[in-house]
Amino acid sequence: MHTNRLANEQSPYLQQHANNPVDWYPWGEEAFAKARAENKPIFLSVGYSTCHWCHVMERESFENEPTAEILNRDFVPIKVDREERPDVDRIYMLFVQATTGGGGWPMSVWLTPELKPFYGGTYFPPDNRYGRPGFRTVLTHLAQAWRDDREKIDGSVNEIMSQLGGYAALGAAAGVVDDKVLDSGYSHCRRTFDRKFGGFGGAPKFPRPVQLNFLLRYWKATGEEEALSMTVATLKAMAAGGMNDQLGGGFHRYSVDARWFVPHFEKMLYDQAQLAVSYLEAYQITNDAALATEARRIFDYVLRDMTHRLGGFFSAEDADSVIHPDHPHEKGEGAFYVFDWREIEAVLGPDEAKEFGRYFGCRPEGNVEPHEDPHEEFTRKNILFRAEEPAPAFAEARAKLLGYRNMRVRPHLDDKVLTSWNGLMISALAKGARILKEPRYMDAARRAAAFLQDTVWNAATKTLRRRWRAGESAIEGFLDDYAFFTLALLDLYETGFDKTHLDLAITLAERMRELFEDKEHGAFYSTAEGDPALVMRLKEDYDGAEPSGNSMAAMVLLRLAAMTGRADFAEAANRTIAAFHSRLTTQSAAVPQMLCAYLFAQRKPGQIQFTGSDPAKLIDAVHAKFLPFHVLLRSGMQDGPAEAQICENFVCRLPVSDPETLASQVE
């Protein structure tokens, strides 16, 4: 058994590699100093604890003694958790994407001792296969090139850094954005929409809630019904598919096929949070109870399986799990979630199993076709999906099967608490509390916010930390930590009207501007100044699996400006949008959350202010509506009759006291 320096780290991903024969270092000066002193290149490996191919590369290469010997002799190996250090990940992922045309995890990058990249890729098999060079071959070649062709490497490094600097300068050329960007973003959605199975594009299919956020707001602003219908169709198709955990609730990371059937089985907190909001907002618009049910199932899963006893939310559950408890080292993709027919019959009995199986697509021979299972991981297995709609609730049968499933060895839980992802989840729960009238969601949201305040927020220095685990908070917060936690506090305020939440949101927004804003050119850097280990500062704008920090910063600043009347917040948000003029006008589909911020700014958001001793019915009337271009305020006047006043475009209507009248005025 080997033990390396990663044994002293809190990251579950780093701890997974603590007993590799590779002499891993965490990202830090100790490793950099060794590389400089010994004039060795750095091998940087970036991944996360629930990453399937990260596990594969570990088994094949990092646990292999001869491979470890090469790494330890010729390189300084560094391991980074991309979820803890998105700043490091973004820089070198940009390099890998620019030089190979693709990216992903595990990410493998070779650096000079000055931390400048000169070669990179993603997963490398141990030997030459899949049309990829073997890892040992690459290591041997690069070690020789470092010894014999150092001048050539240094020349390529300088050219690479110059090119990456051009990417880093994105946002330096501001311009005037107009409504054409909205139509362009919508047209892209229409062109790529899968009219048979829902979603956008082909396999593999990822949920991308930021796209749904934009479509619902585009519908609200324009009345374009297809924007709404595409969103609802996508949400219903995902809910019916195997990507939705039909027993335990919550959504897996993505579907490997076009019909949302065979998932990649990991579960991420940020997906749960954002998809819950998509289902809630679609329910607000359509009043379709099935959409509300899916939001509740997500919340049930998160509160049951992803919540720390002190209130914070864990990061992820793995795709791989133990196939049989007698062989704990043999793991398979989705082993925790799939069933063979004999298990279903044994748990439910033959008659109920037959009825259950008909609705959930289960068959004695298994329901995964060979072309859907290239690695033969699901032979004779069943992935539950809704083969017939509307299916009966099967509440008792589901509970029996869930109880049986829970006796299996659970997938690995990444139990670190990330500030940004927790912000998204708190926001979702606050919205769930207001839209579904469910107080326990608000209780969970408040607890989580209080947990972050107690653990990662330093009131004296007004700074956030990125991660908490096992009693330790660490890593200075990034732009998305500040922006997403601010979002959470605003949604908490608009649900419960506790002014302390609004006050902290203002403080966070002010600090976010101090630490990250480019005052000269507009927009925000992902990282604060002053880290010598980062070879560049980037302005992230891509709204992918998560919204970018810039898109969310613009959004929360606009909301705060509407709530407080502070022009400086609005100006900072508008400068951010203008800074990404080029991206918005040429690739609007890449920045749907930024389009949401632009729409909010263009609509000149309205205020709805509640006064009086008990305006609960008026508040409920507003909470039932989809009002993405309004902000809600509770006046300091807490006495007298309950009233609500709507102000739009600097004009206020007369106060109203009747909930139905109020509802009709905010259509």
Q: Give one DSSP letter per residue of 512-578, joined into a string.
A: HHHHHB-TTT-SB-SS-S--TT-S--------SSS--HHHHHHHHHHHHHHHH--HHHHHHHHHHHH
| The token pair that represents 633 in the structure block | 């305020």
For residues 396-423, average pLDDT:
96
Q: What residue type is 9 in one-letter code?
A: E
Instruction: Decide if 469 is inside a domain.
Output: no
Instruction: Decide if 139 is inside a domain.
Output: yes
The answer on 260 and 117 residing in a single domain is no
Instruction: Decide if 465 is inside a domain.
Output: no
User: Of 414, 437, 459, which residue constitutes the final position of a domain?
Assistant: 414
pLDDT in tens, 14-26: 999 999 999 999 9
Instruction: Decide if 151 is inside a domain.
Output: yes
The three-state secondary structure class of 450 is: helix
The answer on 132 and 213 residing in a single domain is no
The answer on 389 and 299 residing in a single domain is yes
Residue 408: CB atoms within 10 A of its CB come to: 15
- Rounded CA separation 541/170 (Å): 9
Instruction: Decide if 456 is inside a domain.
Output: no
For residues 540-548, average pLDDT:
95
Residue 165's pLDDT is what?
Answer: 83
- Rounded CA separation 524/560 (Å): 17
Per-residue pLDDT at 227 exceeds 60: yes
Residue 287: CB atoms within 10 A of its CB come to: 10
Residue 169's pLDDT is what?
Answer: 65
The answer on 366 and 260 residing in a single domain is yes
pLDDT in tens, 282-296: 999 999 999 999 999
Per-residue pLDDT at 381 exceeds 70: yes
- Rounded CA separation 480/486 (Å): 10
For residues 255-273, average pLDDT:
96
Listed in sequence order, the residues at least 6 apart from 442 whose beta carbon sits closer than 8 Å to its beta carbon are: 429, 430, 433, 434, 495, 496
Q: What angle do CA 413, 417, 487 make, to 5 degrees?
A: 130
For residues 290-315, average pLDDT:
98
- Rounded CA separation 52/318 (Å): 8
pLDDT in tens, 573-594: 999 999 999 999 999 999 999 9
Per-residue pLDDT at 171 exceeds 60: no
The answer on 204 and 164 residing in a single domain is no
pLDDT in tens, 565-578: 999 999 999 999 99
Instruction: Decide if 499 is inside a domain.
Output: no
- Rounded CA separation 572/557 (Å): 7
Q: Is the dihedral of CA 129, 130, 131, 134 positive or negative?
A: negative
Strands (E) across 410-530 are located at 413-414, 417-418, 457-458, 463-469, 472-476
Residue 168's pLDDT is what?
Answer: 67
Instruction: Decide if 346 is inside a domain.
Output: yes
The residue among 481, 484, 473, 7 whose CA lies nearest residue 210 is 484
Per-residue pLDDT at 647 exceeds 80: yes
* Residue 528 CA to its chain's centroid (Å): 21
Per-residue pLDDT at 172 exceeds 60: no
Q: Which domain CATH number covers 83?
A: 3.40.30.10
Q: What is the pTM of this model?
A: 0.97
The answer on 150 and 32 residing in a single domain is yes
Residue where the block lists tokens 């606009």 = 558
For residues 405-422, average pLDDT:
97
Q: Which of 50-59, 61-70, 328-337, 423-432 has the lowest mean pLDDT?
A: 328-337
- Rounded CA separation 76/41 (Å): 6
Residue 374's pLDDT is what?
Answer: 83
- Rounded CA separation 610/497 (Å): 10
Which of the two residues, 327 and 416, has the higher pLDDT score?
A: 416
| The token pair that represents 429 in the structure block | 């729960």
HEC states along 189-244?
Answer: HHHHECCCCCCECCCCECCCHHHHHHHHHHHHHHCCHHHHHHHHHHHHHHHHCCCE
The answer on 124 and 11 residing in a single domain is yes
For residues 488-496, average pLDDT:
98
The answer on 227 and 142 residing in a single domain is no
Per-residue pLDDT at 393 exceeds 90: no
The answer on 231 and 147 residing in a single domain is no
pLDDT in tens, 231-240: 999 999 999 9
pLDDT in tens, 597-619: 999 999 888 999 999 999 999 99
Residue 456's pLDDT is what?
Answer: 98
User: Of 127, 153, 168, which residue constitutes the final position of a domain?
Assistant: 168
Q: Is the dihedral of CA 215, 216, 220, 224 positive or negative?
A: positive
The answer on 159 and 236 residing in a single domain is no
Q: What angle do CA 42, 46, 51 make, to 5 degrees?
A: 150
Structure confidence at residue 392 as a pLDDT band (50, 70, 90): confident
Residue 329's pLDDT is what?
Answer: 82
- Domain of residue 108 covers 5-168
The pLDDT mean for the chain works out to 95
> What domain count does the chain have?
3
Per-residue pLDDT at 9 exceeds 90: yes
| The token pair that represents 566 in the structure block | 């502070």
| The token pair that represents 493 in the structure block | 């305020």
What element of type H or E holds 487? Answer: helix 479-496
Residue 131's pLDDT is what?
Answer: 78
pLDDT in tens, 57-86: 999 999 999 999 999 999 999 999 999 999
177: exposed, middle or buried (C-beta count within 10 Å: 0-12, 13-18, 19+)?
buried
Q: What proportion of the chain, given as a percentage, has pLDDT over 90?
A: 89
The three-state secondary structure class of 586 is: helix
* Residue 454 CA to its chain's centroid (Å): 23
Instruction: Decide if 226 is inside a domain.
Output: yes
Residue where the block lists tokens 């998509």 = 278
pLDDT in tens, 508-533: 999 999 999 999 999 999 999 999 99
The answer on 120 and 216 residing in a single domain is no
The answer on 106 and 20 residing in a single domain is yes
User: Of 353, 387, 414, which residue constitutes the final position of a domain?
Assistant: 414
